[in-house]
Amino acid sequence: MSARPLVMKFGGTSVATPERLARVVEIVADARAQGAVAVVVSAMGDTTDRLIDAVEAAARGDAAQAEALVDGMADLAVQCAMGALATLEAPTDGVHATVRGLLRPLREVLHGVGLLRERTPQTLDLVLSFGERLSATVLAQVLNARGVPAVYVDARDWTVTDARFTHALVDWPATQAALDALRPGWGDRVPVVTGFLGRTPDGRTTTLGRNGSDYTATLLARGLNAYEACRWTDVSGVMTADPRRVPEAYPLARMTFMEALELANFGAKMFHPRTMIPLIESGIPMRIRNTLRPADPGTVVDATGGDDEGRPTCVTSLEHLALVDLQWRKVNQRAQLADRVLGALDRAGVPVWMFNQAAHGQAMAVVVDADRLPQVQALLQAELAGELARHEVQPLRVQAPVTLLTLVAEAMGRTVGVAGRLFAVLGRVGVLIRAIAQGASERSISCVIDAADTAVAVRTVHDAFNLAHQKVSLVLLGKGTVGGELLRQIAQQAATLEAEHDLQIRVVAVGDRLGWAFAEDGLPLPAVDAPRTPWAEGPPGDGAVPADLGRLFEQVRRLPVPILVDCTAAGGLAPTYLAAFEHGLHVVAANKKPLTGPAAEHAALVAAARRHSRGFARETTCGASLPVIETLRDLVRTGDTVRRVEGSLSGTLGYLCNRLMAGAPLSAAVREARDRGYTEPHPGDDLTGLDVARKALILARELGLA
């Protein structure tokens, strides 16, 4: 292997089934046809968990359970190898014998654990090593059967570490020397290397801890001076957010090492700070690719991240955390107590995901794993026992569970308004921010939110920073003439709105007399034929707000730009509008009745919209959606006094007069107007002048005259 190779690392899920193992073999074969290749592989599927369970079972004397777990691991390896070889139409000779021979020493180790009833970290590392040794052996055998010359390489033969079992530290000079000595023996074959493993100078097996196989791959890339380290996984690169939380998340094309480190620091499982160090020191880029979609280009992580200053922002959410607040009364104690708090947590090995301190120094907060909260409380109460007894420190305040939401982008420190934008979009969907911190690197900004708000917060922030179009979530009351036409127009204009105005309207809920329907991703348009759920307490109106409507508002408030659109002619909907404002919905009214109730009720609606910073649009109630109300408002805002408003306030009456002058009977003219959708639902409101009176009152209130 004289040319600069490509180092390829495959995770356990990539080799966990016969089909996936066969796909990995083809990926390696294709790469080998282009040049030199080295492969690092993790343990198959859940093999590591099986091995942990097996050694624990042996330690408590349950030899049968330990044997059963090893048998299951052997069956998985044989099944994957035989199935992959059959798929590749390659000979299957020797698979059973290879697996049996490799696992025989494991059974002996577990037997010894059972005799001693003891499982030391050193023994655990030895047991765990069989997972990677088995997968690398199987992959090398299948590659050779496929016609790709390959050689099994035990990472313990070149990765030299200290004796910190389960999380060993690598001695790089010794590792490089061992690798240089080993490399010539591979010839032109593809080395298939066990990830995760190392050895002490005296030959004892160690493991490298979390993301250990990735670490092996980056160490190998550095040691071989590879041109790239390619990590194959089950996603098509570094995503802008967790796809389980944000279906619209997409992979980044490029990012920097520093951005990757920032993501690692905030819990992104794809990276670990330690795995990046060999690449940073050697300048070798990493590429993240998808074994299920090998044609996807993936994400390149390197020193520069490309020259696109406007590249997307990553949104991470680290969950199952607890926020611990401390406050003390003596200012001169602040530095000492902060040092003691962080020192106590560090000595106990408790990771602190975020730490901040008030400007005056008399308060601080730490974010820790929620499952370690009892330990943290005990540690801090013991450390601050004297101060607590003298009431110099207030009792600990704990909020759990919480989520640490973080934005990460290389250009963040050079972009104005990032923090304001972040907090504004969270505020609009009612997410309470409990703590804030910005990294000294200026590549990230974090906030602590309640766990219940995680889904809506991640989705909202991702949309605000990474999607060009604005999403709007409509709740439609009334699916009659007006409501039905609105649905038709939304469906008709959807493509134009998105292409020309970056606006995506989703009708997420519809309510009428029959009941209501809800779909977070939007109901089908224009018919909205989704089955209705009957109102438990009757439809909204007559001053009542059904409980199921309140629950619907609670669901909708978590969606982007929620808007209640009232296309009914029902009375008594003012309380429904108030409930919508309180739940964070904007209101658009085509219904005049809620706007022409008692003056106090109208004032309460306007005040509620202002108090909750919600829009309250009612242009449709007068002037057939022409901007009459907004024009009059602008006149008043700029100091003009409107003395008189003239106009034909009833299109229905105008139409009827024209038809009557043409000789049509009144009954026929009214029927025509109703069929054309001109009249109110009750045409008598037009004929008696009640509709005109309502419009006049609405205009007078907008002008401040009533």
Domains and CATH numbers, the chain: 6-233 (3.40.1160.10), 470-621 (3.40.50.720), 651-688 (no CATH)
In order of 106, 113, 266, 380, the CA distances from 354 in angstroms are 42, 40, 9, 16
Asked if 110 contacts 65 with a C-beta cutoff of 8 angstroms, the reply is: no
Give the alpha-carbon dihedral of 507, 508, 511, 516, to 10 degrees.
140
In which band, very low, low, confident or very high, does the pLDDT at 482 lie, cut at 50, 70 and 90? confident
- Average pLDDT, whole number, for the chain? 88
In which band, very low, low, confident or very high, does the pLDDT at 644 lie, cut at 50, 70 and 90? confident
What is the Cα–Cα distance from 240 to 270, expressed in whole angstroms? 13
Asked if 262 contacts 478 with a C-beta cutoff of 8 angstroms, the reply is: no
Looking at residue 500, its pLDDT comes to 87
What is the Cα–Cα distance from 49 to 499, expressed in whole angstroms? 49
Which of the 8 DSSP states describes residue 170?
B
What is the Cα–Cα distance from 66 to 52, expressed in whole angstroms? 10
What is the Cα–Cα distance from 676 to 660, expressed in whole angstroms? 16
In which band, very low, low, confident or very high, does the pLDDT at 210 lie, cut at 50, 70 and 90? confident
For 426-471, write each residue's pLDDT tens digit: 887 778 999 998 866 678 889 999 998 888 889 888 888 876 677 8
CA-based R_g, the chain, Å: 34
For 596-625, write each residue's pLDDT tens digit: 999 999 999 999 999 988 899 998 888 777
Question: Mean of the pLDDT values across residues 310-330?
Answer: 84
**Pick the residue with more confidence: 656 or 430?**
656
Pairing of strands 397-408, 444-450: antiparallel
What is the Cα–Cα distance from 223 to 172, expressed in whole angstroms? 9
Residue 650 φ/ψ, nearest 5 degrees = -130, 105
For 94-131, write each residue's pLDDT tens digit: 888 889 999 999 999 999 999 988 889 999 999 999 99
Helix (H), strand (E) at residue 15:
none
What is the Cα–Cα distance from 589 to 476, expressed in whole angstroms? 10
Give the burial class of 205: count Cβ atoms within 10 A of its Cβ; 0-12 exposed, 13-18 middle, 19 or more buried.
Answer: buried
**Pick the residue with more confidence: 383 or 267?**
383
How much of the chain is in helix, strand and coil states, percent to nearest 5?
A: 45, 20, 35
Q: Among 195, 316, 172, which Cα is nearest to 255's? A: 316
